[in-house]
Chain A
């Protein structure tokens, strides 16, 4: 009697290991990070309390946490959608920043639109630019067999260079030392509702939509089929080229939406320093969420919390905010490498995502 009960309990953990493993990974990462913090002569508990009390128990801090989280949800979702179709979009960064600039320009230079419409138009500009930037990688993959990991990395660097030129020359805010654009028009601003930016609500809705699309629609079924087995998908008559291009467009569009929301709802202008590294955090979030669209929300909240609290960490304890990068890197390592899963579940461990494809297909 009691024996079946225990095995049921273990069974519960084994069945839900996609939740158990990331949580265990976070704890191990915090433990190892704690050792690093301790070696720098600071009590780890004090350091972690500084992060979390700043990020969650302070109304300014809470707003900042949500502001950090909002674009991260969408960046994570962008990578997630790619993973589901077997594409590894490393270029969320480039897509996000080009979209951020595009929506900023729409927010600044379109002046004749009424408030809500102006926001919608600016968001759309961002989504389109993000999608097109990723679409280049999609086309290169579909028609020339260029692996998306390489092409999106190159497109990241190219985007950074072009944007750097654009904000230091044609679109630079006049009489300003910093390289950034002017502030967007009042009509293009996405407001905050209390401590929650409106963009965050939008991001959550998009997550729900994407989850529904992947799990409940024909298009989602096609996506998953392609992601699970390309050969079976081709045999079933799915147009692979079309799927690759659509997958990249969708992924880039989501990253673009993240950039656009950040510009319109958080930073109100484009400044390259604001969104450095968001796309790469998106990779961490997607792998932490095991490519589950709904799980990107808590994963993004975690990363957003650490990013928001990391700043106060240096102020209070002198620990460099880059400790957050170390914590995230260890978490990512433990989530994506099967070490922890094998340790916890032995032979019952599930395999994680699979995105390797040859150079030529």
Chain B
């Protein structure tokens, strides 16, 4: 526990500070603060999940620019999967499977074929945009709404309860996914091996780790999380599918990954920062406290991404072998 705290000092301090500030505001205006936090967390959920995809990939040495396309395909598959099967649960499964397939696709292109990783990712995005807009059929609705589940006891905590523990299934799962990914990367044999492959593949290889297989496996499995992110957007957040539904979130997630220093908890804090800033800006706009055009409020996350990257890149260290294909010598 102490190890955990000392290793994750920055994200924990950030989260603690945010919590204190949130409760101060909660004390001042209960309804508004809750709604800002609900909006902020809803905004953060797909970013956190997508950032996990990026983190798992890069920790193993594969850059994933195609998260956007992976999410878009999964959102499409989960929505129309629900419509066709008549069950939102089957739609969830179909969305996650679509994510796995998209993950496997990047894995094959980037690891097996040694295609340039950035180009492979961009191609995934363009292919996903093309396929989803061609097969898109307007006017369909979900067979049922995503059920809202309350976790007993936890959901009764003022403020935090309704925000984090009374949600649809994906939003509920996200907190646990982050903790699980964090644990898996830093505390398990799989995590140690994956990190070795991402930092120093030839040494990992010499130690008997199958570099290519590890990369293939991790990039594919990470795709399932992109599937969750996409399914969240279609089934839980929007409740529908539209062309270009993901709206650049896959790229924001990469900024969040870097801002969080390739650390799952760091990414969670970074995504909350993005979500809360956007939520607060929208609230201020709605209250007419600030009077700037809506278009500019919508731009906030993109501008923040540029600023955050300009500050963070260079101060944080990426996994040493991220982006480099590995060819066994000899």
Contact = CB atoms under 8 A, between A and B. Distances in A.
B22 interface: no
A218 to B, nearest CB: 27
Residues of B in contact with A, size category: 35 or more
B299 interface: yes
Contacts of B317: 360
A27 to B, nearest CB: 18
Given A153-B251, A158-B306, A325-B133, 18 more contacts: A36-B134, A140-B309, A144-B313, A150-B305, A162-B296, A165-B293, A165-B296, A280-B129, A329-B126, A332-B123, A336-B115, A342-B113, A352-B116, A355-B119, A356-B116, A357-B323, A360-B317, A360-B318
A267 B12 CA distance: 54
A352 B134 contact: no
A352 B119 contact: yes
Contacts of A323: 134
A88 B306 contact: no
B122 interface: yes
B130 A325 contact: yes
Interface string A320-361: 101101101110110011110010000000001111111110
Contacts of A173: none
24 contacts: A144-B313, A145-B314, A147-B309, A149-B122, A150-B254, A153-B251, A154-B303, A157-B299, A162-B296, A165-B295, A283-B122, A325-B130, A326-B131, A328-B130, A329-B127, A332-B127, A336-B123, A338-B113, A353-B119, A354-B116, A355-B118, A355-B119, A358-B322, A360-B313
The 10 closest A-B pairs by CB, nearest first: A329-B130, A325-B130, A322-B134, A165-B295, A329-B127, A161-B299, A146-B309, A144-B310, A356-B323, A157-B302
Contacts of A352: 115-116, 119
A330 B123 CA distance: 9
A149 B118 contact: yes
Contacts of B302: 154, 157-158, 161
Interface of A: 36, 88, 90, 140, 144-147, 149-151, 153-155, 157-158, 161-162, 164-165, 168-169, 280, 283-284, 287, 320, 322-323, 325-326, 328-330, 332-333, 336-339, 342, 352-360
Contacts of A329: 126-127, 129-131
Contact of B113 (A325, A328, A337, A356): A337
Interface string B274-316: 0000000000000000000101101100110110011001100
Contacts of A161: 295-296, 298-299, 302
A280 B118 CA distance: 15
Interface string B113-152: 1111111101100110111011010000000000000000
A322 B299 contact: no
Main SS of chain A's interface residues?
helix
Interface string B316-330: 011000111000000
B248 interface: yes
Contact of A332 (B126, B296, B299): B126
Contacts of B314: 144-145, 360
B305 to A, nearest CB: 5
B63 interface: yes
B284 to A, nearest CB: 18
Contact of A140 (B123, B258, B299, B310): B310
B210 to A, nearest CB: 22
Contacts of A153: 248, 251
Interface in B213-239: none
Contacts of B255: 150, 154
A359 B313 contact: yes
Contacts of B299: 157-158, 161-162
Contacts of B134: 36, 320, 322-323, 325-326
Given A154-B306, A158-B302, A353 B133 contact: no
